[in-house]
């Protein structure tokens, strides 16, 4: 048995339930996040995402069930858990009276990083988040996107195993959103385990290795994207651009086994296929066999919106 | 037809009343109001009416004096409640960004204003309705005519409409409810006392104040040099004084403000009541009612002004007035420093980065009420006037014939009030401020323990407490110096008949007691406000709740004692008076007024020495501080809302089981 196999998952939640008065916010939720995975937590407002994340961040005082971080139960040793996590809340407040350098040094001291190491670490995280030029700028002068990147820099200071990001892209403009997404990809490549909640489904689809869909406090689906995709028998969508328009190819493709529908758009064909009957690679071969000269071949990562709509019913807790 | 009735639909008023009806708080406040009103009324009826009755038939005809008490109580309730109820009518909508939406509806600004205004008026009228059974009881006892009841209701309604209009005007003018709340009370006080001061000042007060100032100048000059007499003569000629100034007594002591002579045009309730219940010279009802005309005119004017500013000031940008004020002071100090010292800086604001205690570092180097330069300015603003005037008084010497100089009592009240105000505002906002700016959760997700966070957060409060304590102790020191210089004996107040050495010891006790009061009462205010700040969600609510609790703690024992004494009679003094020591202001007030000896005698007839009273009181408050501090630190994880190692908290099944933390916070890195 290898060391990796023996190590516990970074996050393990068992039968988690949270109740606020008469409201059952989270109802018997269980999931596991192995090391290095990016887990997307999807659900409508009030579904219980933030409450679940708050349990893992040791900020939820009343709950039932168990939540482990690296095998440590959050109630047994919350201080140890706090050393292992980096938490960015949904409303990320920052200290506007500090500069970016002071802000990061403040949290470096709070995380008890040795004073002689702090300057180097602060420089590193600022470089990673592309904020080096803003090091002495007052936090209040930073844009919202920069503040969000500063928050991400903060959670990286103590090099935690797990990042808990509650709606990190909410309220950001498109450019800032893309910057945050790229930063998260970089963190993913660094091997960080990330739990991220978001409403923006296609962004999660590009980033996440696993997803959990939560509605009215209940986890309605959980697993890798392909698992959920297969589980729901959803259609894979492939965008194909041909060198020239070929109407006969469209009718031929519609008769191929596994192809569900072919839609002719201005500059491309949008092909929906049943992946369990016809693999994406085989569709490519089939088009070539039928004489099509392919200029662009782009399978959609996942039709998350369809999955989400199919799995949820718009119910709130 | 529907269109016609829709004109009278008053949808906003309906919404306001429905919302109020749906809140549990509404019923709780009304119940508390009813209990207090009935409780106080019964106690006062008992003391003022029932105790003077020997025969059940004597009760007949006593309704009139009971009605008078009841109306006075209701007026007090209106003054206390109405501004607080009405000051958020419009500003609350502005704060929740819903006022713009209201203006986009078909409701006109005038309608919005009127419906908001009526919503507040109706709420208070429901409070007044609570007293109707008591009014009915008064009527049943006899001595009350029907027009008395109608006139009483008219007086109360006049006050409700008028104060509601004032609150709504301030609410329309200011952006925040806090600013509106403060402005409502200040404006109300100005409208009430302004005419009195204006009436007094031209004829008597201004002349007396001029003579007093003149006197101070004269005596100071006399001390410096006898040759200044020539200048005094010139000054006398300038002011037209017929007798030499040196022989004059301070005229301000002869002030005798007779309330019957005062004109209070905008708040006529006291005068109307006085006329209504004056049995010796009855005034016709219409003549009493007509006194309310200026009040109703003011109500109309305030509503008109509110309508004028409603839209113009609907979308004000947020402004930090404290920060603006500090910046203004900054500019002034920089200009003065550049002019007089050519820019010498003795102490620079720290530019260092945090090392071990990051939260404490931010509190003392980044927060406005924690940094050295702002604290120095607060210190100078409080200390310089006290020291300057105090030294002048010491120089003048026998300016007052009293044992203690009244000016020091005045400075003591000012220094205590300002000091406690600053400490309460600072302490109550250190955690609630983090909550409001959404930074608390981030801080709680760090390895800092809850005790460490609170302890470090208090670093700024500790500095501020030290700064505000100095002016209070300066006043104490000046008072002691004054006594030492002029040999003022106060032995009778302590029940001693000793020589000079005993008197000196008494003044040493005075100084020591005041020092201990500062040492105990400022932390008391600080820990109490901190605990309230931990319990309350928003900064504004934390400040108001803390101030309200502190003021109530200071005032309520006096009110209860007064009512109880009134009800039970003076033979129960020994039981009632000691309860006054439950008010934190009592001991400093007794020390400043020199009445501790008399108070000790009143409560024990020489069985208890003043020293024992001091020890008991200080011990009690020290105990309260220790309890507050222990509870706050022990419950810190629960109050902050996080799991914590060592805190034996299992909230899921034992919600009321509170955590037990062991040991002080670790400071290791």
pLDDT confidence tier of residue B367, bands split at 50, 70 and 90: confident
User: What pLDDT sits at residue B156?
Assistant: 92
Q: How many CB atoms lie within 10 A of CB B520?
A: 20
In this predicted structure, which of A130-134, B384-388, B600-604, B619-623 has the lowest mean pLDDT?
Answer: B600-604
User: Of A78, A109, A154, which has the smallest distance from its Cβ to B356's Cβ?
Assistant: A109
Average pLDDT estimate for B526-551: 89
pTM above 0.80, yes or no: no
Confidence (pLDDT) at B251: 36
Mutation target for A interface from B24, B430, B636, B643: give the one with most A CBs within 10 A. Answer: B643
Distance from C-alpha of B379 to C-alpha of B369, rounded to nearest angstrom: 11
Average the pLDDT over B541-558 and give the result: 88
Q: Are A271 and A259 in contact (CB under 8 A)?
A: yes
Least trusted range by pLDDT, from B254-268, B477-491, B615-629: B254-268
Question: Given this model, what pLDDT does residue B649 score?
Answer: 42
Q: Residue B228's pLDDT is what? A: 47
pLDDT of residue B653: 36
Phi, psi of B421 (to 5 degrees): -60, -45
Q: What are phi and psi of A8, to 5 degrees?
A: -70, 160
What pLDDT shows up at residue B664? 32
Instruction: Take residue B368 and report the two structure tokens written for it.
Output: 């406005």
Q: Which of B439, B442, B447 has the CB atom closest to A112's CB atom?
A: B447
Considering only CA atoms, which of B411, B382, B381, B414 is closest in space to residue B394? B411
CB contact under 8 Å between B445 and A57, yes or no, is yes
List of chain B residues whose C-beta atoms are within 8 Å of the C-beta of residue A99:
none
**Token pair of B379 as six digits:** 């210190």
Q: Do A75 and B356 touch (CB under 8 A)?
A: no
- Predicted confidence at residue B374, as pLDDT, reads 80
pLDDT band at B499 (very low <50, low <70, confident <90, very high): very low
CB atoms B649 and A82 under 8 Å: no
| Per-residue pLDDT reduced to its tens digit, B408-453 | 888 888 899 989 989 998 999 899 888 888 889 999 999 999 999 9
Within 10 angstroms of residue A274's Cβ, the number of other Cβ atoms is 14
Confidence grade of residue B508 (pLDDT, cut at 50, 70, 90)? confident
Asked if the Cβ–Cβ distance from B366 to A85 is below 8 Å, we say no
What pLDDT does residue B497 have?
A: 42
Beta-strand relationship, A269-274 and A235-242? antiparallel
Choice among B33-37, B143-147, B242-246, B545-549 with the minimum mean pLDDT: B242-246
CA torsion through residues B289, B291, B292, B293, sign: positive
Taking the C-alpha atoms of residue A174 and residue B419, their distance in angstroms, rounded to an integer, is 50
Find the range with the poorest average confidence among B27-31, B179-183, B263-267. Answer: B263-267
Q: How many Å apart are CA A60 and CA A63, to the nearest integer?
A: 7
Q: What is the pLDDT of residue B578?
A: 81
**Chain B interface includes A61 (CB < 8 A):** yes
Written as six digits, the tokens of B630 are 């222990």
> What local confidence, expressed as pLDDT, does residue B262 receive?
45
**CB-based contact (8 Å) between B362 and chain A?**
yes
Query: Burial, B573: exposed, middle or buried (Cβ in 10 Å; 0-12, 13-18, 19+)?
Result: middle
Confidence category of residue B238, pLDDT binned at 50, 70, 90:
low
Distance, C-alpha A286 to centroid of its chain:
34
Which of A25, A65, A66, A78 is best to mutate for the B interface (most B CBs within 10 A)?
Answer: A78
Q: Is A294 helix (H, G, I), strand (E, B) or coil?
A: strand
- Give yes or no for a contact between A250 and A264, defined as CB atoms under 8 angstroms apart: yes
Residue B655's pLDDT is 36
Inter-chain Cβ pairs, chain A and chain B, closer than 8 A = 110
- A97–B367: do the CB atoms touch at under 8 Å? yes
The complex scores an ipTM of 0.79
Q: What is the pLDDT of residues A69-109, one digit of tens each?
A: 999 999 999 999 999 999 999 877 788 889 999 999 999 99
Q: How far apart are CA A50 and CA A195, in angstroms?
A: 11
* Chain A contact set for B437 (CB, 8 A): 93, 96
CA distance B101 to chain A (A): 22
Q: Using the predicted structure, report yes or no on whether residue B205 has a pLDDT greater than 60.
A: no
Q: Which residues pair with A223 in a beta bridge?
A: A211
Chain A (68-107) residues lying within 8 Å, Cβ to Cβ, of chain B: 74-75, 77-80, 82-83, 85-87, 89, 91-98, 101-102, 105-107
pLDDT at residue B257, rounded to an integer: 36
What percent of chain B shows pLDDT beyond 70? Answer: 76
Q: Does A115 touch chain B (CB under 8 A)?
A: yes
**B547: closest CA among B528, B522, B534?**
B528
Determine the residue among A109, A152, A153 to mutate to test chain B binding: the one whose Cβ has the most chain B Cβ atoms within 10 Å: A109
Using an 8 Å Cβ cutoff, are B395 and B389 in contact? no
Answer yes or no: is pLDDT of B95 > 50: yes
Q: Which residues in chain A have Cβ-Cβ distances shorter than 8 Å to B355?
A: 109, 115
Closest-CA distance, B528 to chain A, in angstroms, reads 24
Q: Could you give the angle at which helices B63-86 and B109-129 cross, rounded to 10 degrees?
A: 140
User: What is the chain B residue with the closest CA to A154?
Assistant: B442
CA dihedral A23, A26, A27, A33 (to 10 degrees): 180
pLDDT band, very low/low/confident/very high, at B399 (cuts 50, 70, 90): very low
3-state secondary structure B344-392: CCCCCCCCCCCCCCHHHHHHHHCCCCCCHHHHHHHHHHHHHHHHHHHHH
Query: Which of A54, A94, A109 is closest, CB to CB, to B358?
Result: A109
Is the distance from CB of B37 to CB of B130 less than 8 angstroms? yes
Q: What is the pLDDT of residue A46?
A: 84
- Are B669 and A115 in contact (CB < 8 Å)? yes
List of chain A residues with pLDDT < 50 = 1-4
The pLDDT of residue A283 is: 92
Instruction: Report the candidate in A228, A178, A233 with the shortest Cα–Cα distance to residue A206.
Output: A178
> Is A75 within 8 Å of B643 when comparing Cβ atoms?
yes
Tokens 């959760």 appear where?
B441
For B334-345, the DSSP string reads HHHHHHHTSS--
Which residue would you say has higher pLDDT here, A149 or B377?
Answer: A149
Residue of B nearest to A151 (CA): B442
Query: Of A154, A147, A187, nearest to A169 (Cα)?
Result: A147
Q: Is B240 left (phi over 0), alpha (psi -120 to 50) or beta?
A: left
pLDDT confidence of residue B320: 65
**What average pLDDT does the segment B655-668 reach?**
34
Q: Taking CB atoms and an 8 Å limit, are A109 and B357 in contact across chains?
A: yes
Which of A112, A154, A155 should be substituted to probe chain B, the one whose Cβ sees the most B Cβ atoms within 10 Å?
Answer: A112
Q: Which of A57, A62, A97 is nearest residue B366 as measured by Cβ atoms? A: A97
At B4, is the pLDDT very low, low, confident or very high (cuts 50, 70, 90)?
A: low
**Distance between start and end Cα atoms, chain A:** 43
Q: Closest Cα to residue B47, out of B405, B431, B444, B570? A: B570
Cβ pair A62:B652 closer than 8 A = yes
Residues of A within 8 A of B669 (CB-CB) are 109, 112-115
Check CB contact of A20 with chain B, cutoff 8 Å: no
Question: By the CB < 8 Å criterion, does B638 face chain A?
Answer: yes
Residue B598 has pLDDT above 90, yes or no: no
User: How many Å lie between the alpha carbon of A83 and the closest alpha carbon of chain B?
Assistant: 6
- Residue B641: list chain A partners with CB under 8 A: 59, 61
Q: Give A64 to chain B, closest Cα distance, Å.
A: 7
Q: pLDDT band for position B381 (50/70/90)?
A: confident
Mean pLDDT, chain B, rounded, equals 78
């Amino acid at each position: 048995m290898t060391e990796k196999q023996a190590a516990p998952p970074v996050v393990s939640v068992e039968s988690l339930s949270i109740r606020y008065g008469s409201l059952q916010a989270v109802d018997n939720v269980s999931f596991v996040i192995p090391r290095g995975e990016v887990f997307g937590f999807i659900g409508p407002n009030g579904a219980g995402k933030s409450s679940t994340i708050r349990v893992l961040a040791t900020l939820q005082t009343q709950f039932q069930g168990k939540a482990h971080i690296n095998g440590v139960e959050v109630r047994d040793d919350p201080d140890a858990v706090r050393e292992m996590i980096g938490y960015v809340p949904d409303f990320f407040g920052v200290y506007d009276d500090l500069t970016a350098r002071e802000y990061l040094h403040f949290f470096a001291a709070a995380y008890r990083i040795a004073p002689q190491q702090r300057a180097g670490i602060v420089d590193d995280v600022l470089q990673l988040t592309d904020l080096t030029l803003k090091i002495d700028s007052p936090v209040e002068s930073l844009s919202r996107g920069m503040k969000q990147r500063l928050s991400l820099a903060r959670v990286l200071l103590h090099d935690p195993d797990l990042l808990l990001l509650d709606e990190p892209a909410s309220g950001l403009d498109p450019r800032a959103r893309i910057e945050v997404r790229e930063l998260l990809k970089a963190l993913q490549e660094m091997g960080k385990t990330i739990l991220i909640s978001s409403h923006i489904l296609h962004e999660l689809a590009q980033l996440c290795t696993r997803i959990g869909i939560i509605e009215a406090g209940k986890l309605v689906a959980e697993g890798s994207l392909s698992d959920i995709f297969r589980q729901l028998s959803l259609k894979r969508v492939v965008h194909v651009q041909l060198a020239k328009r070929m109407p006969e190819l469209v009718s031929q493709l519609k008769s191929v086994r596994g192809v569900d529908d072919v839609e002719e758009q201005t500059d491309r064909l949008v092909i929906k296929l049943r992946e369990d009957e016809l693999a994406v690679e085989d569709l490519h071969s089939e088009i070539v066999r039928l004489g099509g000269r392919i200029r662009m071949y782009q399978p959609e990562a996942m039709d998350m919106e369809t999955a989400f709509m199919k799995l949820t019913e718009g119910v709130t807790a | 037809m529907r269109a016609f009735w829709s004109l009278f639909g008053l949808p906003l008023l309906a919404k306001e009343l429905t919302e109020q009806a749906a809140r549990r708080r509404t019923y709780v406040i009304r119940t508390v109001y009813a209990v207090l009103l009935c409780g106080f009324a019964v106690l006062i009826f008992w003391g003022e009416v029932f105790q003077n009755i020997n025969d059940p038939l004597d009760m007949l005809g006593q309704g009139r004096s009971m009605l008078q008490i009841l109306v006075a109580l209701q007026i007090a309730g209106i003054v206390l409640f109405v501004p607080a109820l009405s000051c958020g009518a419009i500003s609350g909508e502005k704060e929740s960004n819903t006022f713009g939406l209201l203006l986009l509806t078909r409701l006109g600004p005038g309608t919005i204003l009127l419906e908001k205004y009526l919503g507040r008026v109706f709420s208070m009228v429901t409070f007044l309705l609570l007293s109707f059974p008591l009014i009915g009881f008064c009527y049943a006892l006899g001595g009350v005519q029907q027009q008395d009841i109608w006139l009483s209701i008219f007086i109360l309604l006049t006050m409700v409409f008028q104060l509601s209009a004032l609150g709504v005007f301030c609410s329309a003018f200011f952006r925040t409810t806090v600013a509106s709340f403060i402005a409502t009370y200040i404006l109300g006080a100005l409208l009430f006392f302004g005419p009195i001061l204006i009436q007094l000042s031209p004829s008597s007060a201004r002349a007396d104040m001029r003579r007093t100032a003149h006197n101070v100048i004269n005596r100071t000059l006399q001390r410096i040099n006898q040759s200044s007499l020539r200048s005094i003569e010139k000054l006398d000629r300038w002011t037209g004084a017929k007798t030499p100034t040196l022989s004059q007594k301070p005229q301000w002591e002869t002030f005798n403000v007779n309330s019957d002579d005062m004109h209070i045009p905008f708040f006529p309730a006291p005068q109307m009541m006085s006329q209504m219940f004056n049995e010796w010279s009855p005034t016709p009802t219409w003549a009493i009612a007509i006194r309310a005309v200026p009040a109703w005119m003011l109500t109309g004017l305030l509503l008109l002004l509110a309508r004028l500013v409603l839209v113009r000031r609907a979308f004000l940008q947020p402004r930090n007035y404290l920060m603006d004020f500090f910046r203004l002071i900054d500019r002034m100090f920089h200009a003065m420093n550049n002019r007089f010292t050519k820019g010498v800086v003795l102490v620079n604001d720290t530019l260092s980065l945090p090392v071990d205690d990051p939260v404490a570092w931010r509190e003392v180097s980044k927060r406005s009420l924690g940094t050295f330069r702002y604290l120095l300015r607060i210190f100078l603003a409080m200390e310089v006037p006290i020291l300057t005037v105090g030294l002048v008084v010491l120089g003048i010497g026998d300016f007052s014939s009293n044992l203690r100089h009244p000016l020091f009592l005045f400075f003591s009240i000012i220094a205590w009030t300002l000091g406690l105000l600053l400490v309460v505002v600072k302490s109550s906002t250190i955690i609630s401020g983090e909550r409001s700016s959404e930074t608390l959760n981030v801080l709680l997700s760090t390895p800092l323990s809850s005790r460490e966070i609170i302890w470090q957060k208090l670093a700024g409060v500790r500095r501020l407490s030290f700064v505000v304590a100095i002016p209070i102790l300066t006043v104490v020191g000046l008072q002691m110096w004054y006594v030492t210089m002029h040999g003022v004996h106060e032995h009778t107040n302590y029940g001693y008949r000793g020589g000079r050495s005993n008197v000196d010891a008494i003044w040493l006790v005075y100084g020591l007691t005041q020092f201990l009061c500062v040492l105990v009462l400022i932390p008391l205010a600080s820990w109490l406000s901190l605990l309230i700040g931990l319990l309350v969600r928003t900064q504004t609510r934390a400040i108001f709740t803390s101030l309200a609790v502190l003021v109530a703690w200071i005032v309520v024992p006096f009110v209860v004692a007064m009512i109880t004494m009134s009800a039970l009679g003076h033979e129960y003094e020994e039981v009632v008076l000691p309860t006054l020591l439950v008010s934190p202001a009592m001991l400093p007030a007794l020390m400043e007024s020199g009445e501790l000896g008399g108070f000790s005698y009143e409560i024990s007839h020489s069985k208890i020495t003043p020293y024992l009273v001091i020890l008991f009181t200080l011990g009690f408050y020290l105990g309260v501080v220790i309890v507050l501090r222990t509870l706050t630190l022990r419950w810190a994880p629960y109050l902050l809302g996080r799991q914590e190692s060592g805190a034996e908290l299992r909230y899921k099944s034992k919600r009321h089981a509170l955590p037990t933390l062991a040991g002080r916070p670790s400071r290791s890195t």
